[in-house]
Each structure stands twice: as structure tokens, then as C-alpha cells.
Amino acid sequence: MTLIAPATTVVETTYGPVRGTTDGPVDVWKGISYAAAPTGKRRFAAPVAPRPWTEVFDADRFGPVGPQSAMPGMSLGEDVRQDEDCLSLNVWSPGTPGDRKPVMVWIHGGAYFRGASSQPVYDGRALAENGDVVVVTINYRLGAFGFVDFSSLSTDRHRFDTNVAMQDMIAALRWVQVNIAAFGGDPDCVTVFGESAGGGAVTTLMTMPSARGLFHRAIAESSPATSVYNQERAAHVARTFLEILGGADDPVERLLTASTDELLAASDELFSRIPSDTPGTLAFGPVVDGDLLPDYPVNSYWNGTALRVPLLIGTNKDEASLFKLMKSPLMPLDPDVIRGMFAEIAAEHPDVEFPDQARIESAYSGLATKSDAMGLTRDFGFRLPTLWIVEAHSRYAPTWLYRFDYATPMLKALKIGATHATELPYVFGNIAHGPKEVTYLLGGLSTGRKVSERMQRRWLAFAKSAVPTGAPGEPAWNAYDRDGRATLLIDKHDTVVPDLDGPLRAAWGEQVIAFA
């Protein structure tokens, strides 16, 4: 009689052994450190390797998330605490060591300011089980802790690094390259995917030389790809942050010794002040430093220096309605503010031929209503950067464009439709992920499950083969090119539309602009 050894969830990583748990057919490891705590003198510094351990680490709960203020309606997960020591990741695997399953590494969104890998909607079990893939979700530094560039304040005594949160992501991807085989994953078949700020991180990572070889395909959902800024603006943001923080006779000492709560409070105020002072810009985001990030990402796509990996990218039909509902400062909706934003951009870029403003306004009924303004800011913030990328990247690598249009009856009744982030439950297969979920109160759950099945099928096929094929009978989704400009329209029934965004391009023109 042959005895079968019981399955074990203890895995040896390069830094030490970790013990996971089992969730049905999927093994799960949570809270694995991929970098040392970015605290003390390492605050605002590039990540370094964690200190190795010898005792088995029980990876049975999510690690701390980056410090952030609470946001109504957004759960970071049950019993999750906040701490600057937040550089950890989680793994869901349906495989065993020796398998070589495709790997999908998720970067969460949240305006580079909020969010966490522990959010219930990002639970990787369904995606891992349904797709037979290894799913990894990561935490990274947020807000002022990761996305304010203090390098202009460096002295002989102390150096502040640039793009530390982007370097966190690269450190996590390097961890995946070295360790994921022990969890049943294939380090030669890694897809990085993310939404909103996470989508922006994806489109930025594709233009960072240090990310070369760390992933092999990319999915960017609702990427604010042009929300990347130059060092002059970064220095201004750093000075503004110090002004808000106060007590900075010695800026280096103040930044290194301020409490987490002090930095978080100043981060909150900066989050609101910057887009109020300069509409259309974010307080936090990647910075063109000439080294880690050599150029504005859209420029890199256009000149062919972005990583030439297959890309699946798209936006949601009603992106801006969520920001209107939340009264968020991130997207300007007042027509006069929008006109002022254009005037400021044109003044800052006198060498760029800015699209004719009258022609743009006419495409949105002259900005006569808040609805017109919402459409314009949606396109300016999300759809146009996406179109610029596909027009450019498709010349160098296979590229697929989609638009997510599906909205449940409840979301239509609330007049938010297929707004920002509503595709996420369908991608992860977690479409009813909480007892207070209101999305399906007026029905639509059965249709939603079918939408999720189709999206997962496309996303998973792309992760496995670099081609987002559907099931037999589903419309063929061809790669984007300047002849057909195919776009997958995701709704109750999927369709493929040629040149869906033709009117948008006609209004704005095809001039690529890197907004600083």
C-alpha cells in the first residue's frame, strides 16, 4: 500500500520559510515581506532586501497596509492594520512546486494615495482557481510616503531617493522572478496588471529600464498614464508638503523624525490642495527623474523605447461619474475650471501645438452642462492617454483595446453607470463580495456572472498566451492597428467595434502631449 504524503503549504523563499493556508483547491500565503521596513533612516529611500529569517513564518494573514485615511465605502480588509512597514505580498496558487503555471501580479489602485492588496475585491482565489494561474497581489508605499519626490532636499548628510514606490513594485517583481517557481508559478510567464493608479503604474513600469525582463505582458485598466510629472513640479510639491507639515527649519530632520500621523495628516491636505491649485493634476504620482524613469511614459511609447511586451489596455464608459458622486477634487467638473486648466497647460507648453479648444468644446456641447464637463474630464484623464498609448505601442508590440460598458440596473438607477473601478469584481470573479453590496439590489447578478466569465476568459487567455481569445462563438478581438482600430466593447453581450473612438480623435487630434 502506497502512502500519500499530506500536502504542505510550507515554501522556502530566498529570505526564509513561509507557511500558508489552504482555501479549497488553492493554497494561499499572505503578508510575505519582499523588502525591509522603509522606516527610520530608510523612510523615503529605495527598498532593500528584508533581513533573512530561519523560523517558519506563518503567512496566514495580510500584512500591514500603507498609512492612509479612511474612505467611505472602501474596506481595506478585515482586521488589517496600517503601518509604514507595509512592503509585503500575497500568493494564491492552485499548483505545486515543479508546476510552471502563468503568473499574474496585481497592482492596486487608489490615486497613489489609498488602497491595499487586502481589499476583498482583490481576493485572488477565484481567479487562481478558474484560470489555473498563480495570482500575486502587492502592497507598496502610498501618498507622501511613496509618491512625493524629496530628492531636491537631499544633502551631503542624507539622500532622498526618487520614485521609491515605483521601486517597491520593481522589488516585488524581482521577488516574483526569484521565488515564484517554489509556489508553482512560471517566472518566464508573468503578467503585471492593475487598475487606476495601479494601471498607471503598469503603463509607467513598461517605460522603466529597470523593469526589463521582470514581466512578459501587461494589462492596464483605466490608466491615468499622463499623470506623471517632471522634477521641477516634484520639487514644488515637496516644498508645499513641508509647508503643510510645518516645523521644517531642518527639512531632512523633520521628514525623518515626524510621526506617521503627522505625515499622513499633511499627505491628506496635499492630496486636496494640489488638484485645487492646479486642476487636472494629482498630488502624488511617478516623476520623470531621467534615470529610473527617463521620459514621460506616453513619449516613450511613441518613440518605441517602452518595453515591447504585449499590452491589453482600456477604460470604462462612465469613468468620471464616481468622482462626481464622491465630490472628489481629482477631476475638475466646472466648465470655467476646465478652461483655466487648458490655458495653464498651453502656457506651460508653448512649444506644443495644443488641440483647438473651440473644436474640443464643440464635441462636448460647448461644456454647457456638468454632464458635458464630466465627459471631457473622463476623456482627458483616462480615454485619451489610453488612445495615445495604443496608437503608439501597437506599432511595436501586439496591443488590444477595450471599453467596459456594463452597468447593473442599480448602477444605472444611481446614474453612475459603468463608472471607475466597476470592472474590478468581474476581473477577479468576486462580483458579490460583501453583505452590504448594493450593486445587484435591482437584479443583474446572473448577467454579471456571465460578464465575469467572459472577462476572466479573455484576461486569462492573454496571461497564458499573450492573445485574449474568447470562447467559440464569441466575437474575434483582433489586435489594434491603425487600419481597423478594433475595440472590444464589454457589455451584456460583447461586440468588437472598428474605430470606436474615431469622433474622439477627430475632436482632439492625434497630437501626443506629455502633460507635466
Has 152 been annotated as catalytic? Answer: no
Instruction: Please give the Cα distance from 144 to 263 (Å, whole number).
Output: 7
The single-letter code of the amino acid at 334 is D
Tell me the three cell numbers of residue 149.
519626490
Residue with cell 508590440: 397
> What is the rounded CA–CA span in Å between residue 193 and residue 137?
10
In the set 108, 393, 420, 433, the catalytic residue is 420
Please classify residue 205 by burial: count the beta carbons closer than 10 Å to its beta carbon, then call 0-12 exposed, 13-18 middle and 19+ buried: buried
Angstrom distances, CA of residue 90 to CA of 96, 135, 252: 16, 8, 34
Q: How far apart are CA 131 and CA 137, in angstroms?
A: 16
DSSP codes joined into one string, 262-326: HHHHHHHHHHHHHHHHSTT--SS--EE-SSSS-S-HHHHHHHT-S----EEEEEETBTTHHHHHT
215, 187 contact by CB (below 8 A): no
Task: Clarify whether 196 is annotated catalytic.
Answer: yes
Ordered strands of the 495-498 beta sheet: 21-23, 26-33, 88-93, 134-138, 101-107, 185-195, 217-221, 311-316, 399-404, 486-490, 495-498
Burial per residue of 246-275, b for 16 or more beta-carbon CB atoms within 10 angstroms, e otherwise: eebeebbebbbebeeeebbebbbebbebbb
Q: Which of 117, 151, 196, 321 is catalytic?
A: 196
Give the Cα separation of 65 and 346 in Å (integer): 39
Active site residue 420: yes
From 84, 195, 221, 319, the catalytic residue: 319
Catalytic positions, written as ranges:
196, 319, 420
